[in-house]
Amino acid sequence: MQVVLIGVGQAGGKLAQAIAEFDYEMDLGAVTGALAVNTARADLQSLTIETQLIGQDRVKGHGVGGDNELGAEVMDADADQVMDALEGRITSQADAIVLVGGLGGGTGSGGMPVLARELKAVYDRPVYALGILPGRDEGSLYQVNAGRSLKTVLREADSTIMIDNDAWRSSDESLQAGFDTINQRVARRIGLLLATGERIGEGTAETVVDASDLINTLRRGELAAVGYATCEASEDAAENINAITSLARNAVLTGTSLPDAVDAQSALLVIAGEPQRIARKGVERARKWIEEETGSLDVRGGDFPMESDRLAAIVVLGGIERSRRVEEFLDRAREASEQTSASPADPTESFQDDRLDDLF
Ligand code: GDP
């Protein structure tokens, strides 16, 4: 799939750059453009991708702090500057537009849903959001911001891929120290996922996965997660049947961007590696296992030819909004919201819950 990436806020800009760099270094050809948008000048200065500063009249290049309502207002006022910066970049080649941002901060949290709305009004392309969920140890402001931002971005974007900052961090590192590692992991996983269907390397895939497989998988629900696992592989495909089934299991059970999210409406399994190492029987068994595990009958599968002596599984789970992990996060956000505001509680279901206000 060919995409234009837009990073909003500090985390968004760093991640957009990391994904674009991975795509370039691996010669994947999926990222056709990358833009970082921020209210903080200093955060943009450290980036090498294209940048757009917004909100200069309101915050003078100093950022919005953790105020995501201000982040949303600034994006609302200056969206035309971002649209101008994108002019001519979202060509007919682009299959989708992907927004990236931290849900817990200010600029990304508030700006991403507004920009999703603006982009959808102009482009007839799917707009996806890659939302970074704050870690459990981050303060209540982050949790409330993330809850409200998520609720709003789900409404505006076609699908939101959630990445929990606790999911891909090394256990011995603090969250701050671990950002570079997390960003590299996100770049590899999301970079490979986006490149699905873009032909690279020698061999051809036996069962081709193309952009429409990913689009159709994401279409089945509002929230999605991505799983990833890799292992050494024999040169003989017949010896890799079990390896492929355990790869899929590891990707879903331990390698996912949103741990414990296994109830899904749809899924896509991509096995990356040299075609002669990929066992058809293994891919088929792995696909069946995902059907059983997720309770979905809409599970697509295929290969991604790549030069490597290893195999990797990339699994997208679409429509995970009913998962325990999502409920757990929403509880955390609602609880924090009640502690920080006196707004009346009105418990209803999930995102309909009025205890988490929409941003706009
Ligand atoms: P903004 O610039 O106002 O949008 O705020 P940030 O992008 O700093 O958003 C804060 C949230 O993003 C917090 O939950 C942080 O944990 C997370 N965050 C900040 N920087 C990074 C980063 O480089 N990588 C990742 N994965 N998360 C980050």
Q: Which of 75-79, 171-175, 244-248 has the lowest mean pLDDT?
A: 171-175
Range of the domain at 284: 226-318
**Inter-residue contact 129 to 141 (CB < 8 Å):** no
Q: Give the domain CATH number at 269.
A: 3.30.1330.20
Q: Is 105 in the pocket of ligand 1 (CB under 6 A)?
A: yes
* Token duo for residue 284: 């088929």
Residue nearest to atom 10 of ligand 1 (CA): 105
Is 207 buried (19+), middle (13-18) or exposed (0-12) by CB count in 10 A?
middle
Q: Is 13 in the pocket of ligand 1 (CB under 6 A)?
A: no
Same domain, 292 and 155: no
**Inter-residue contact 285 to 319 (CB < 8 Å):** no
Task: Answer yes or no: is 221 within a domain.
Answer: no
Mean pLDDT of 220-244: 95
**pLDDT over 50 at 344, yes or no:** no
Task: Answer yes or no: is 205 within a domain.
Answer: no
Mean per-residue pLDDT over the chain, rounded: 92
Same domain, 343 and 330: yes
Task: Answer yes or no: is 136 within a domain.
Answer: yes
Task: Answer yes or no: is 217 within a domain.
Answer: no
Same domain, 37 and 177: yes
**pLDDT value, residue 31:** 97
Mean pLDDT of 255-263: 91
Among 6, 8, 10, the mutation site with the greatest number of ligand 1 atoms within 8 A of its Cβ is 10
Mean pLDDT of 165-179: 87
Among 44, 165, 168, the mutation site with the greatest number of ligand 1 atoms within 8 A of its Cβ is 165
Same domain, 12 and 115: yes
Same domain, 34 and 47: yes
**Inter-residue contact 191 to 283 (CB < 8 Å):** no
Q: Ligand 1 centre from 290 Cα, in Å? A: 32
Task: Answer yes or no: is 54 within a domain.
Answer: yes
Count the neighbouring beta carbons within 10 Å of the beta carbon of residue 358.
14
Q: Give the domain CATH number at 144.
A: 3.40.50.1440
Same domain, 135 and 101: yes
**Inter-residue contact 131 to 12 (CB < 8 Å):** no
Gap between the Cα atoms of 316 and 161, Å rounded: 9
Buried b (16+ CB within 10 A) or exposed e, 341-353: eeeeeeeeeebeb
Same domain, 293 and 333: no
Task: Answer yes or no: is 218 within a domain.
Answer: no
Residue nearest to atom 22 of ligand 1 (CA): 11
Same domain, 238 and 284: yes
Q: Is 78 in the pocket of ligand 1 (CB under 6 A)?
A: no
What atom of ligand 1 comes closest to residue 40's alpha carbon? 2
**pLDDT value, residue 204:** 58
Gap between the Cα atoms of 161 and 112, Å rounded: 13
**pLDDT value, residue 327:** 84
Task: Answer yes or no: is 244 within a domain.
Answer: yes
Q: Is 134 in the pocket of ligand 1 (CB under 6 A)?
A: yes
User: Which residues partner with 35 through β-bridges?
Assistant: 6, 50
- Binding site for GTP: residue ranges? 10-14, 106-108, 138, 165, 183
% pLDDT > 70, the chain: 94
**pLDDT value, residue 341:** 63
Q: Tell me the per-residue pLDDT of 29-74, one tens digit each, with 9 for 90 and over.
A: 999 999 999 999 999 999 999 999 999 999 999 999 999 999 999 9
Q: Ligand 1 centre from 293 Cα, in Å? A: 32
Q: Ligand 1 centre from 134 Cα, in Å? A: 8
Q: Is the ipTM of this complex over 0.85?
A: yes
Q: Ligand 1 centre from 154 Cα, in Å? A: 19
**Inter-residue contact 163 to 352 (CB < 8 Å):** no
Task: Answer yes or no: is 277 within a domain.
Answer: yes
Closest to 303 (Cα-Cα) out of 228, 226, 210: 210
Structurally, the chain folds into a number of domains equal to 2
Is 27 buried (19+), middle (13-18) or exposed (0-12) by CB count in 10 A?
exposed
Same domain, 116 and 142: yes
Residue nearest to atom 14 of ligand 1 (CA): 134
Q: Ligand 1 centre from 106 Cα, in Å? A: 9
Q: Ligand 1 centre from 111 Cα, in Å? A: 13
Same domain, 106 and 133: yes
Q: Is 111 in the pocket of ligand 1 (CB under 6 A)?
A: no
Residue nearest to atom 9 of ligand 1 (CA): 105
Query: What is the pLDDT confidence band of residue 100, given thresholds at 50, 70 and 90?
Result: very high
Same domain, 78 and 175: yes
Mean pLDDT of 181-207: 81
Same domain, 314 and 334: no
Is 310 buried (19+), middle (13-18) or exposed (0-12) by CB count in 10 A?
middle
